[in-house]
């Protein structure tokens, strides 16, 4: 069973691959449709099961994904279950239904673990996963290991767009 489900537009596959690599370096198991849908099975059934079984769903909002009915549907299900963590990879505004959820700005993320945006994502994952008390890749529950995850690699690049300030919120809304 995977801990994280990633919802995205296929046009953003390069970012998805980088995110999967960074998360797996932290010991996180990730489910994505490209590698985890079994041949001969219905897409929608497997996606529903994967979302239901994962602790957290990351949705990558972009100019492409905000137009995708699939991405919107994949994000709506975990939204109701409080297990959605949205990130914006190009500062696109999320669809109306998702604007009330704080979105992490990944527009300056360069694909590594040594970035403030990635650390914010880890913190959000730790918060969501601790609610369901799900262990992270054989480690203690995220609530207990959150500090270890955040301190395992220092952030070397500071991005003013990832402050969570009112200015940042107004950019997303």
Give the pLDDT score at 39: 62
Give the pLDDT score at 45: 74
Condensed to tens digits (0 to 9), the pLDDT of residues 20-63 reads: 999 999 988 888 875 555 666 666 777 788 788 889 999 999 99
Domain coordinates of the chain in residue numbers?
4-172
Give the pLDDT score at 49: 80
Low-confidence ranges of the chain (pLDDT < 70): 1, 34-43, 129-173
- 3-state SS string over the chain? CCCEEEECCHHHHHHHHHHHHHHHHCCCCEECHHHHCCCCCCHHHHHHHHHHHCCEEEEEECCCHHHCHHHHHHHHHHHHCCCEEEEECCCCCCCHHHCCCCCEECCCCCCCCCEHHHHHHHHHHHHHHHHHCCECCCCCEHHHHHHHHHHCCCCCECCHHHCCCHHHHHHHC
* Topology classification of domain 4-172: Rossmann fold (3.40.50)
Give the pLDDT score at 172: 36
Give the pLDDT score at 161: 38
Look up the pTM and report it. 0.72
């Amino acid at each position: 069973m995977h801990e994280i489900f990633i919802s995205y537009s296929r046009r953003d596959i390069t970012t998805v691959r980088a995110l999967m690599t960074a998360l797996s370096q932290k010991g996180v198991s990730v489910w994505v449709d490209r590698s985890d849908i079994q041949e001969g099975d219905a897409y929608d059934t497997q996606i529903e099961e994967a979302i239901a079984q994962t602790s957290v769903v990351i949705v990558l909002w972009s100019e492409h994904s905000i137009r995708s009915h699939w991405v919107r549907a994949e994000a709506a299900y975990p939204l109701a279950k409080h297990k959605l963590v949205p990130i914006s990879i190009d500062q696109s505004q999320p669809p109306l239904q998702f604007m009330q959820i704080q979105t992490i700005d990944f527009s300056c993320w360069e694909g590594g673990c040594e970035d403030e945006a990635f650390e914010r994502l880890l913190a959000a994952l730790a918060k969501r996963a601790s609610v369901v008390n799900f262990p992270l890749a054989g480690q203690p529950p995220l609530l207990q290991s959150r500090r270890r995850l955040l301190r395992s690699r220092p952030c070397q690049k500071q991005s003013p767009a990832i402050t969570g300030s009112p200015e940042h919120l107004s950019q997303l809304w």
